[in-house]
Structure 1
Amino acid sequence: MTKFGDIIGIDKPVLIDFYADWSDSEPSLQTLRDVAAALGDKAKVIKIDIRKNQILAEALRVKGNPTFIIYKNGEMKWRQTGEQDANTLIGLVKQFF
């Protein structure tokens, strides 16, 4: 299993969607697919289920659903709780290329 530090420690932006599986909706999943397709290999897009990763969610103080966080080189660059559209997320991630 990959460690969280290895995931966020890369030199390109990593967008993480912390979500709960009981509220995972198809529109949210499609939004992340659109973001990943638009960014290609310039960034990583990852979903993490907060119910299956409670220790990590608590350590990062993830309280809302969804919570989006952008990391680069292991450092948190941006964080927002609440739904976001694909264009907003793409623009945010591009700031950290």
Structure 2
Amino acid sequence: MASFQEIIQSDKPVLVDFYADWCGPCKMMKPILEEVKGEMKDELTILKVDVDRNPDAAQSLGIQSIPTLILFKNGKVLWRQAGVVPAKQLQQIVKEHV
């Protein structure tokens, strides 16, 4: 299995959702991310990172609140936002950076 660092180095955009199982707003992101994946298919990789199981990844990126979404391409952060983001807005953000 590829490491977090290997995945975000992709030349295809990678949307990372930092979440926790106990987080209410994080649960709201699941159907939103499924909708985005359904619309964007292979244009985008979506990766969910549980901050409780992967504290190093969360700490290295300074994740202070969840959910936090970060869009990477070639290892660079293109966009970042904490909180729930509507599907249409997420798709628009990704399309701006593809």
Aligned residue for 1:12? Answer: 12
Aligned residue for 1:55? Answer: 56
Aligned residue for 2:66? Answer: 65
If the length of structure 1 is used for normalisation, what is the TM-score?
0.93
Deviation at 1:65, TM superposition (A): 0.8
State the superposition RMSD in angstroms.
Answer: 1.0
Post-superposition CA distance 1:23-42 (Å, at most 9, x none): 142x3211010011111101
Matched residue count: 96
Is 1:90 paired with 2:95?
Answer: no
The runs of 5 or more residues in structure 1 that have no matched partner are none
Q: What amino acid maps onto 1:72 in structure 2?
A: K
Deviation at 1:95, TM superposition (A): 1.0
Deviation at 1:2, TM superposition (A): 2.0
If the length of structure 2 is used for normalisation, what is the TM-score?
0.92
Aligned residue for 2:46? Answer: 45
Percent identity of the aligned residues? 39
**1: CA distance, partners of 2:76 / 2:13:** 10
Post-superposition CA distance 1:18-70 (Å, at most 9, x none): 01111142x32110100111111011111111111001111111011100000
Deviation at 1:5, TM superposition (A): 1.4
Q: Runs (4+) of structure 1 moved beyond 4 Å?
A: none
**2: CA distance, partners of 1:20 / 1:38:** 25
The runs of 5 or more residues in structure 2 that have no matched partner are none
SS in 2 for 1:21: coil
**2: CA distance, partners of 1:93 / 1:48:** 19
